[in-house]
Amino acid sequence: MKKNYFYLNRIHRPEDIKNLDSKETAALAAEIRDFLVEKVGLCGGHLASNLGVVELSIALHKVFDTPRDRIIWDVGHQAYVHKILTGRKDAFDTLRTPGGLSGFTKRFESEYDPYGAGHSSTSISAALGFAQADALLGRDNYTVAVLGDGAFTGGLVHEALNNIRKNLHLIIVLNENEMSISKNIGVFSRHIAKIRATRGYLKTKTFTRTAITRIPLVGKPLFRAVRKTKKSIKNALYGSNYFEDLGLYYLGPADGNNAEVVETLLREAAASKQSVLIHLKTTKGKGYRPAEENPNLYHAVPPRGEAKSSPNFSQALGKELIRLAEKDRRIVAITAAMADGCGLTPFAKRFPSRFFDVGIAEEHALIFAAGLAAGGMKPVVPIYSSFLQRGYDSILHDIALQNLPVVVPIDRAALAWRDGATHHGIFDVSFLSGIPGVTLYAPATFASLKTFLNDGLKGGAPTFIRYPNSGELLKSSDFPIRQRFALSTFSQNSEGLALDGIVMTYGGILREAMTARAYLAQKGFACGIIVLEKLLPLEIDAILSLLPDAPVPIVFLEEGIRSGGVGVNFYDAARNREKMKNRPYRVLAINALTDGRKGETLTETCGIAANDVVNAFLNNALLN
């Protein structure tokens, strides 16, 4: 810790900030911003969004009695300040490292994190569950959900809003920091909103409500009539809004970077004893000029000194998609708010009328693509592996059952080294393997990616192409023998000796296999590698033709969940074939969700590292 963090060094729990005055709060906020720039710049993580919620985070912990009162952060990437204020600032040097401080909220990390998250738009549903449980059990604590305006592009938010009962101790904080949700209702409405965010207005309103409701017999009906009349007049002058129409008590919009205003609105919301939505407008990157001027560049920053792989599979996909779209006007691209990450930004600029960003709505993206395909178009829908999970029913019901030619590139198909379990791309192979009629590829080179994309656009059936967030996995010189969708150097090693064992694998984990082969060679153990590039349906005969007749052992190395994975599926289909009889075979795959352990890589924690391969061969750890 820096010695000049005068206030921050004295904050160890939320109680330590409750008596700060406005000047002290402002000084603390400035120190927190300096701390975030320092620590996130070192370790990487979400910077701009956290800089924007400093005053809000402080106000939440000043007003509410956490952890008894609960704060649920949507996604969790805006929760860094919350973590700082709840006793975790000394762990920020370990942010987003295996066994270190998570980049998201985690129930197992702190009692101040009542609900874990990593995917968007879940906070209101979860908060509603907590608030309803409190009502049923007679508890009087509060639940606060904090979510950005981007989350409102996900349909789940609106499903939850539609289900809220009025008289719950539920407070929703809408942090609008990028796109405008509220209607432009002119100078009068802005003036009214400003008045409604003042202490004087709220104090008068509270006094009036109390005075009227205490009138014997007619008090409560009279108050309801007054409130209804007031709302009718307001609606006639400048209209109602979406949230009030749903029955929520609406406060705002207000300046979310004004600590006094935010605290005032939170206290009013708590005093109202009903379901409330507070609408705040904050500045992404607040207090750090580079992030204020370019918030998208500072949304997620890499660790200091980390070089990005360039070009990567995402960029290669985007480039090839443009080339193909130049020749075929039926090709369209769809993203669920991930144009940059999936390499589609250049496509969007080149073909704006054929590019669709549907927001954080993977289910809609896939069904929309199915409709486009049924209408004669050729949709390509790149989605991160961990987010594709949200569209499983859309894949099964809308694409596969109708055999529609939708191409789905699966980005970030690997362990998420920085973001942890919520972002691990390790389930796509398993859940797709249970759907008949789909084709799944795992290109090891950009050339293979181009081939598979072309085949998918011509094939007339559902096609999935999975790849990690990296550059090419191998060079053609590494694997001189090539057969359809399978690459190999298993026949002989550099010394010309017969093989002692074979590793079968696919995807980014190939690097661990190659490391293991080099180490085994030093031990006099000749290890070949077979790289699969077509995973569904498996080309069993083609793969078996690559195996030597001698029953040397096989280790199937897989950076994916074991159940339903390729290693299990291959053995199930091939175990009774002649070449597999009496051949030792073991699957090294992932059996549990994990964020990793301190001092280990994620592959080591999952038991799929190079050392695990070596031990399987040298320590006779192979089992059928």
pLDDT at residue 184, as a whole number: 35
Mean pLDDT score across all residues of the chain: 89
| pLDDT reading at 463 higher than 80 | yes
Question: Rounded mean pLDDT of 160-166?
Answer: 95
Q: Do residues 250 and 104 both lie within one domain?
A: yes
pLDDT at residue 459, as a whole number: 86
Question: Rounded mean pLDDT of 525-534?
Answer: 93
Q: Do residues 160 and 127 both lie within one domain?
A: yes
pLDDT at residue 222, as a whole number: 65
Q: Do residues 32 and 157 both lie within one domain?
A: yes
pLDDT at residue 198, as a whole number: 57
pLDDT at residue 299, as a whole number: 84
Q: What is the pLDDT of residues 217-276, one digit of tens each?
A: 666 676 566 555 555 555 544 456 889 888 899 999 999 999 999 999 999 999 999 999
199 in a structural domain = no
Asked if residues 69 and 391 have their Cβ atoms less than 8 Å apart, the reply is: no
Find the catalytic residue in 88, 89, 284, 450.
284
452 in a structural domain = yes
What percent of the chain has a predicted confidence (pLDDT) above 70?
85
Question: Rounded mean pLDDT of 525-542?
Answer: 93
Question: Rounded mean pLDDT of 535-561?
Answer: 94
pLDDT at residue 479, as a whole number: 67
Spatial separation of the C-alpha atoms in residues 569 and 535, rounded to whole Å: 10
624 in a structural domain = no
CATH of the domain at 540: 3.40.50.920
Q: Identify the band that residue 316 occupies on the pLDDT scale cut at 50, 70 and 90.
A: very high
Based on the structure, what is the number of domains in the chain?
3
pLDDT at residue 355, as a whole number: 98
From the list 430, 411, 418, the residue with the least C-alpha distance to 468 is: 411
| pLDDT reading at 617 higher than 60 | yes
| pLDDT reading at 201 higher than 80 | no
Asked if residues 505 and 528 have their Cβ atoms less than 8 Å apart, the reply is: no
pLDDT at residue 591, as a whole number: 95
Identify any residues that bridge with 45 across adjacent strands, giving them in sequence order. Answer: 301
From 434, 466, 498, give the residue that closes a domain.
466
Q: Do residues 121 and 267 both lie within one domain?
A: yes
Q: What are phi and psi of 488, to 5 degrees?
A: -155, 150
Question: Rounded mean pLDDT of 287-311?
Answer: 82
Strand 383-384 versus strand 407-411 pairing type: parallel
Asked if residues 516 and 527 have their Cβ atoms less than 8 Å apart, the reply is: yes
pLDDT at residue 298, as a whole number: 86
Q: Do residues 167 and 117 both lie within one domain?
A: yes
User: Is 362 annotated as catalytic?
Assistant: yes
Find the catalytic residue in 263, 268, 362, 533.
362
Q: Identify the band that residue 303 occupies on the pLDDT scale cut at 50, 70 and 90.
A: confident
Q: Do residues 538 and 390 both lie within one domain?
A: no
Asked if residues 546 and 486 have their Cβ atoms less than 8 Å apart, the reply is: yes
From 410, 443, 466, give the residue that closes a domain.
466
Spatial separation of the C-alpha atoms in residues 539 and 279, rounded to whole Å: 55
From 466, 496, 526, give the residue that closes a domain.
466
pLDDT at residue 1, as a whole number: 46
Q: Which of 116-120, 280-284, 619-623 is predicted least confidently?
A: 619-623
Q: Do residues 276 and 339 both lie within one domain?
A: no
From the list 245, 610, 325, the residue with the least C-alpha distance to 334 is: 325
| pLDDT reading at 494 higher than 50 | no
Q: Do residues 288 and 327 both lie within one domain?
A: no
| pLDDT reading at 565 higher than 80 | yes
pLDDT at residue 214, as a whole number: 72
Spatial separation of the C-alpha atoms in residues 624 and 622, rounded to whole Å: 7
Q: What is the pLDDT of residues 292-301, one digit of tens each?
A: 988 888 888 8
Question: Rounded mean pLDDT of 334-344?
Answer: 96
Q: What is the pLDDT of residues 63-103, one digit of tens each?
A: 999 999 999 999 999 999 999 999 999 999 999 999 999 99
373: tokens are: 């395909």
Spatial separation of the C-alpha atoms in residues 534 and 557, rounded to whole Å: 15
Q: What is the pLDDT of residues 122-134, one digit of tens each?
A: 999 999 999 999 9
Q: Do residues 259 and 143 both lie within one domain?
A: yes
Q: Identify the band that residue 304 occupies on the pLDDT scale cut at 50, 70 and 90.
A: confident
Asked if residues 150 and 337 have their Cβ atoms less than 8 Å apart, the reply is: yes
Q: Do residues 412 and 494 both lie within one domain?
A: no
461 in a structural domain = yes
| pLDDT reading at 195 higher than 90 | no
546 in a structural domain = yes
Question: Rounded mean pLDDT of 5-10?
Answer: 94
Domain boundaries, position 414: 313-466
Strand order of the sheet with strand 501-505? Answer: 481-483, 486-488, 527-532, 501-505, 554-561, 585-590
User: Is 390 annotated as catalytic?
Assistant: yes
pLDDT at residue 186, as a whole number: 41
Query: Alpha helix locations (H) across 375-406?
Result: 385-388, 392-393
Q: Which of 156-160, 169-173, 479-483 is predicted least confidently?
A: 479-483
Q: Do residues 246 and 346 both lie within one domain?
A: no
Question: Rounded mean pLDDT of 375-390?
Answer: 98
202 in a structural domain = no
Find the catalytic residue in 96, 106, 281, 390.
390
Q: Which of 83-87, 140-144, 204-208, 573-577 is predicted least confidently?
A: 204-208
439 in a structural domain = yes
CA angle 388/394/400 to nearest 5° reads: 105
Spatial separation of the C-alpha atoms in residues 164 and 167, rounded to whole Å: 9
DSSP per residue over 117-162, as a string?
Answer: --STT-HHHHHHHHHHHHHHHT----EEEEEEGGGGGSHHHHHHHH
CATH of the domain at 329: 3.40.50.970
pLDDT at residue 353, as a whole number: 98
pLDDT at residue 182, as a whole number: 37
pLDDT at residue 517, as a whole number: 93
Query: How far does the chain reach from its first CA to its final CA, in angstroms?
Result: 53
Q: Do residues 49 and 110 both lie within one domain?
A: yes
Question: Rounded mean pLDDT of 136-158?
Answer: 94
515 in a structural domain = yes
